Amino acid sequence: MRRLHRFHGGLKLEDHKAISTARPIEPLPLPSELVVPLAQHIGAAAKPLVSPGERVLKGQLIGLPEGYVSCGVHAPTSGRVLAVEPRRVPHPSGLSDLCVVIEPDGQERWVEREPIDYLNADPSEVRNRIRQAGLAGLGGAVFPSFIKLNPGANTVRTLVVNGAECEPYITCDDMLMRARAPDIVAGIEIARHLLGAIEVLIGIEDNKPEAIAAMRTAVQAGGHAFEIVPVPSIYPAGGEKQLLYTLTGLEVPSGKRPHDIGLACFNVGSLYALARAVLHGEPLISRITTITGNVDEPRNVEALIGTPVANLVAAGRPRPDTDAYVMGGPMMGFVLPGPDVPVVKATNCVIARSPALFPPLPAPMPCIRCGRCAEVCPARLAPMDLYAFAKSQNFGKAQEYSLFDCIECGCCSAVCPSHIPLVDYYRYAKSEIWARERERKAADLARRRHEFRLARLAREQQERARRLAEKTGGTSQASPDREAILAAIEQAKSRKARPAAETVEQGEVR
């Protein structure tokens, strides 16, 4: 029996998961238009490779990774490119971003798929193929998977598989484990091979008995020594740092990565996508998404990336009093700017919201520093102090108090008796710090460019002087005439400076 470690804080929440697990995963009908954003992951957006009017095949690369932290974007189906233009994307800001708009032809013609012989290929080549396949973390962080599969100089001893899915209402990982456990196990073995991990621990919350049973069966059928560990259903048990600590007792230090302490952590959805990419040559063009909340038919569907959220929620039949849609869970999710935004790689759940289901909070009142927020904070922070620093725009102090260790789980906001939206203040402070950092980097770049320009001008001036000296004297040494001219210039400068000094001296004599 493995010893589990209880992380600090957390909450026991009503999970509301049973309502969306009664039906099997179903494919979503092909929409009339797919809007595929070129920025769906942490890092740089992909560079568009197609133009309006061009025909594309299903799985064709339409966005080339740019920069190291970036991965590919692919056509979810075959059809014609209608536009490459800014469209509204799922983000709290409601801003637009560059998207490839595709009109499906209904034929679902695939590009040639090339599986990867990962056992006999160079690991770096396998990671490059995974990067091109567009794999990013499907647990919500959408961090490019090829980077997490590269431990560098570190040695990864333990691979932790995240099947906790702790946030209320979300059941996409639960249903994926129930229905497609053999593919997930195959993905785990690929990741273990690339990382060189000795031990594999699969953490699944104990409120998912069907998923635990399905994964155990798949692990035994595959003849693997992976250990499946039921973990207590305490929110946020599925946070990366919290799950790693629960299973291993090791704490990832502030500012460090799991690789630095010999660990790696992958979501089950990411590992399923890894198996499809490596064993079947399929890029990431769809994902399982939960439709729940104020709908008549809560369920999980497999939706193509780029499907409008309106089409997605229509499958759940939203009720007339639905007033908004939330992407993600009720604790960490955000209200979508509208149902026209597309499904992206991070869309694990869409909750239809209504005033009856999610009553508006009372108006916030002043902080009374009761400390309840600190008691439930899983990152051992002082939320009331971070709130004060963020509100007063004392961002330096907020960083000193480890603002960026906050995982924005929302536990502090949930228990605040003053109803202060604490996480909103932390997000605001982080965005301001990032914006100022970008401005500082831009100013540094401008300063370096200016210094380079001055250096270039000085170098050109010296070069002109050298050529003039060679032309007039035949050597690099200045001619007698030029020396006389330079001496005259120096004398003129001395005369120009002398009157002021003489005036002072004369004043003192008088």
Contact in structure between 46 and 38 (CB atoms under 8 Å): yes
The pTM score is: 0.86
Give the mean pLDDT of 237-254.
95
My answer on whether omega of the bond before 330 falls inside 30° of 0, hence cis, is no
Q: Total structural domains in the chain? A: 2
Same domain, 137 and 254: yes
Q: Evaluate whether residue 128 is within a structural domain.
A: yes
pLDDT digits (tens, 9 = 90+) for 153-181: 899 999 999 999 999 999 999 999 999 99
Query: Taken in order 463, 466, 471, 472, is the CA torsion positive or negative?
Result: positive
Q: Evaluate whether residue 113 is within a structural domain.
A: yes
367 is in an annotated binding site: yes
Residue tagged 């059809």 (tokens): 79
416 is in an annotated binding site: yes
Q: What is the pLDDT of residue 498?
A: 56
Q: Evaluate whether residue 13 is within a structural domain.
A: no
pLDDT digits (tens, 9 = 90+) for 322-367: 999 999 999 999 999 999 999 999 999 999 999 999 998 899 999 9
pLDDT digits (tens, 9 = 90+) for 39-92: 988 888 999 999 999 999 999 999 999 988 999 999 999 999 999 999 999 988
Contacts 24+ apart (CB under 8 A), 46-53: 46/70, 46/71, 46/72, 46/73, 48/84, 48/98, 48/100, 50/81, 50/84, 50/100, 51/81, 51/84, 52/81, 52/82, 52/83, 52/84, 53/80, 53/81
CA dist., res. 170 & res. 270, Å (int): 16
Contact in structure between 20 and 169 (CB atoms under 8 Å): yes
DSSP 44: S
Same domain, 264 and 370: no
Residue 239: pLDDT band (50, 70, 90) is very high
Residue 496: pLDDT band (50, 70, 90) is low
Using the predicted structure, report yes or no on whether residue 282 has a pLDDT greater than 70. Answer: yes
Using the predicted structure, report yes or no on whether residue 507 has a pLDDT greater than 70. Answer: no
Q: What is the pLDDT of residue 480?
A: 55
User: What six digits make up the tokens of 318?
Assistant: 């939203």
Same domain, 117 and 233: yes
User: What six digits make up the tokens of 24?
Assistant: 């099997």
Same domain, 245 and 391: no
Using the predicted structure, report yes or no on whether residue 502 has a pLDDT greater than 70. Answer: no
349 is in an annotated binding site: no
User: Residue 303, SS3?
Assistant: strand
Same domain, 170 and 278: yes
Q: Evaluate whether residue 326 is within a structural domain.
A: no
Same domain, 55 and 178: yes
Q: What is the pLDDT of residue 474?
A: 56
User: Residue 13, SS3?
Assistant: coil
Q: Evaluate whether residue 220 is within a structural domain.
A: yes
Least confident of 277-291, 343-357, 488-502: 488-502
Residue tagged 């869309």 (tokens): 347
Same domain, 158 and 265: yes
DSSP bridge pairs for 302: 27, 288
172 is in an annotated binding site: no
Q: Evaluate whether residue 275 is within a structural domain.
A: yes
Same domain, 373 and 224: no
409 is in an annotated binding site: yes
Using the predicted structure, report yes or no on whether residue 212 has a pLDDT greater than 80. Answer: yes
Same domain, 283 and 174: yes
Q: Of 407, 432, 455, which residue is a domain's last?
A: 455
CATH at residue 278: 3.40.50.11540
Q: Evaluate whether residue 441 is within a structural domain.
A: yes
Q: Evaluate whether residue 432 is within a structural domain.
A: yes
Q: Which range of residues forms the domain containing residue 432?
A: 361-455
Using the predicted structure, report yes or no on whether residue 504 has a pLDDT greater than 80. Answer: no
Same domain, 281 and 368: no
Q: What is the pLDDT of residue 495?
A: 65
Same domain, 72 and 213: yes
Least confident of 205-209, 323-327, 442-446: 442-446
Same domain, 129 and 236: yes
Give the mean pLDDT of 441-460.
91
Q: Of 455, 474, 504, which residue is a domain's last?
A: 455
Q: Of 408, 433, 455, which residue is a domain's last?
A: 455
Least confident of 155-159, 383-387, 458-462, 480-484: 480-484
Residue 141: pLDDT band (50, 70, 90) is confident
Residue 501: pLDDT band (50, 70, 90) is very low
- Virtual CA dihedral for 297, 301, 304, 308, nearest 10 degrees? 20
